[in-house]
């Protein structure tokens, strides 16, 4: 399975590159699809016989199906129960985090966690958590290893902590949140294919690890914490923070999705 996000794709450095409907987004859809195809080629070279690509960015309708490597299937569209990780419970033997990025409050190109700007920090069981860390914990609950993580150099550094055995590919080097030293697609494609082949050595379901988890979320404004705290089981723990417990990582991620949706709906114009 490939969980395909876009902020960490080849060449992406600023907002318009990933916002559906812009001219830049149309351009980077092609580069994004190229990254996906490069990984499909590598996974196939490594022995994969069935590859599911789960669109994981924004509208989740970004990869160009007409240009997708025919050896893969694609899950596209929003409102999936497990969102970025939909399909992880379908018996897959490994997952690739493609086009990922650093977490909210951290240095990295377009760094964020779920919401583009309103969340300033997320912690999983007391540890700062990017989308990669959250999704890796969900994969572990199903005994699925992380095979490969791609994104900028900050993303790869983060992955070394939550998925130390996974292959990593830095397609760009972070200069700031909106600037990076980028490699051309011909180079990143080759790197992604080689790394995906190497990552397949980790493929194979292990023992599922199901444990209770605690998630804390920090927002950039107090009214967002107040809005999220109306959710049963979610407690406002500070002026701008909420926290909640969940019996499994699946439940934790579903609750986190609700928290982000409520908070996003409470944003008002330029003042947030």
Positive or negative torsion for Cα 263, 252, 244, 120: negative
Q: What per-residue confidence (pLDDT) applies to 74?
A: 98
For residue 216, list its beta bridge partners.
123, 243
Nearest-10 crossing angle of helices 131-141, 153-162: 30
Which residue is associated with the tokens 């129960």?
A: 81
57 is in an annotated binding site: yes
Go through the domains of the chain in sequence order and give each one's CATH number: 2-110+131-202 (3.40.50.10780), 213-266 (3.30.1360.130)
Yes or no: say if 170 and 111 are a contact pair by the CB < 8 Å rule. Answer: no
157 is in an annotated binding site: no
101 is in an annotated binding site: yes
H helix runs in the chain, sequence order: 23-45, 131-141, 153-162, 185-199, 222-228, 249-265
Give the confidence band of 270 by pLDDT, cuts at 50, 70, 90: confident
In this model, does residue 175 exceed pLDDT 90? yes
Q: What is the pLDDT of residues 24-41, one digit of tens each?
A: 999 999 999 999 999 999
Q: What is the pLDDT of residues 60-97, one digit of tens each?
A: 999 999 999 999 999 999 999 999 999 999 999 999 99
Q: List residues with catalytic annotation.
A: 112
Mean pLDDT of the region 183-204: 98
Rounded to the nearest integer, the mean pLDDT of the chain is 97
Distance from C-alpha of 122 to C-alpha of 112, rounded to nearest angstrom = 10
- List the structure tokens of 116: 């583009």
pTM over 0.85: yes
Check residue 260 and give left, alpha or beta (phi > 0: left; psi -120 to 50: alpha): alpha
Nearest to residue 119, comparing CAs of 25, 215, 19, 202? 215
214 is in an annotated binding site: no
Q: What per-residue confidence (pLDDT) applies to 251?
A: 98
Q: What per-residue confidence (pLDDT) applies to 199?
A: 98
218 is in an annotated binding site: no
Q: What per-residue confidence (pLDDT) applies to 235?
A: 98
Q: What is the pLDDT of residues 108-166, one digit of tens each?
A: 999 999 999 999 999 999 999 999 999 999 999 999 999 999 999 999 999 999 999 99
């Amino acid at each position: 399975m490939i969980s395909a996000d876009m902020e960490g794709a080849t060449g992406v450095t600023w907002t318009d590159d990933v916002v559906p409907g812009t001219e830049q987004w149309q351009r980077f859809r092609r580069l994004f699809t190229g990254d996906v195809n490069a990984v499909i080629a590598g996974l196939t070279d490594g022995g994969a016989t069935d590859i599911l690509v789960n669109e994981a960015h924004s509208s989740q309708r970004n990869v160009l199906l007409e240009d997708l490597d025919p050896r893969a299937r694609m899950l596209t569209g929003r409102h999936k129960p497990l969102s970025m990780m939909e399909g992880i419970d379908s018996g897959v033997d490994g997952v690739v985090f493609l086009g990922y990025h650093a977490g909210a409050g951290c240095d990295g190109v377009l760094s964020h966690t779920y919401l583009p700007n309103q969340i300033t920090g997320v912690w999983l069981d007391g540890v700062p958590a990017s989308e990669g860390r959250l999704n890796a914990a969900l994969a572990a609950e199903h005994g699925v290893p992380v095979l490969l993580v791609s994104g900028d150099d900050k993303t790869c550094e983060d992955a070394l902590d939550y998925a130390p055995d996974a292959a990593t590919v830095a397609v760009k080097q972070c200069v700031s949140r909106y600037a990076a030293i980028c490699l051309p697609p011909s180079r990143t494609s080759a790197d992604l294919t080689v790394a995906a082949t190497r990552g397949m050595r980790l493929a194979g379901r292990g023992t599922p690890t199901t444990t209770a988890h605690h998630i804390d979320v920090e927002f950039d404004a107090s009214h967002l914490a107040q809005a999220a705290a109306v959710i049963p089981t979610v407690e406002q723990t500070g002026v701008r923070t909420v926290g909640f417990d969940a019996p499994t990582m699946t439940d934790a991620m579903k609750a986190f999705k609700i928290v982000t949706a409520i908070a996003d709906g409470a944003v008002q114009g330029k003042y947030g």
